[in-house]
Amino acid sequence: MKKLFVVLTIFLALFFSKAKADQPVFEKFYMQHYVSFGNTFVVMLDDNSMWELFCFKPRSQTWSEWWNSVKIDVDENFLWKEGDWMVQDQIIIGENNLDRALMGKLKGEDEKRLRSFDYVIENLSGNKVAFARPISFAEFTNLFIDYSNYQYDQGYSSGHTTGYLNGYNSGYSDGKISGYDKGYTDGLLH
């Protein structure tokens, strides 16, 4: 009897927790700051919480979908860019119950990433929706460091390539001109 009571209690707790999953987990908030690290977008709310937003990009059509004129329709509310999220926008946070419907429309690597985003943030002011996960200040710092290192590597690579080509071209042209001039004058003197 005791086991039945425990099992029944656990079952009812799970059942009733799922019944409220469509309701917002938190109340309305206002966005205080936002930071973009390339493809990573972080918002800070007025309760000092930080949230990483999932940048939704639909997958490309397959050849058979293109041939059969099948379109990959994605709700416009999920497609957003940095300018769609502004300071003082009203935000509601709820649990993520939408991911199953969208999984077939995502790129492969984005499917894996979306599984770690347990919440949905709805921007009432901009009429946009994003998948989100709360992050700590340490995670925010790591995102900043990773993006800084990525940008440094990109700049270093670009600068090295450009500098090498410029140096090679100027060295080649200087060498050709001075070598041609020397050869020409040596040829005239003999």
Q: Is 97 buried (19+), middle (13-18) or exposed (0-12) by CB count in 10 A?
A: exposed
For residues 128 and 76, the answer to whether their CB atoms sit within 8 Å is no
**pTM (global) more than 0.75:** no
Half-sphere exposure (Cβ direction) of 118: Cα atoms closer than 13 Å:
4
Output the DSSP codes for 34-103: EEEETTEEEEEETTS-EEEEE---BPPPPHHHHHTT------GGG---GGGS-TT-EEEEEE---HHHHG
The H-or-E segment that residue 86 falls in is none
For residues 32 and 46, the answer to whether their CB atoms sit within 8 Å is yes
**pLDDT tens-place string over residues 145-163:** 888 888 888 887 777 777 7
Of all residues in the chain, the percent with pLDDT exceeding 90 is 0
43 phi and psi angles, rounded to 5 deg:
-115, 145
Write out the two tokens for 100: 């199953």
Is residue 6 predicted with pLDDT exceeding 50?
A: yes
**pLDDT tens-place string over residues 88-145:** 888 888 777 655 555 555 656 666 677 777 788 888 877 777 788 888 888 888 888 8
Question: Average of pLDDT values for 10-38?
Answer: 60
Q: How many residues does the chain have?
A: 190
Return d(Cα 46, Cα 7) in angstroms, integer. Answer: 41
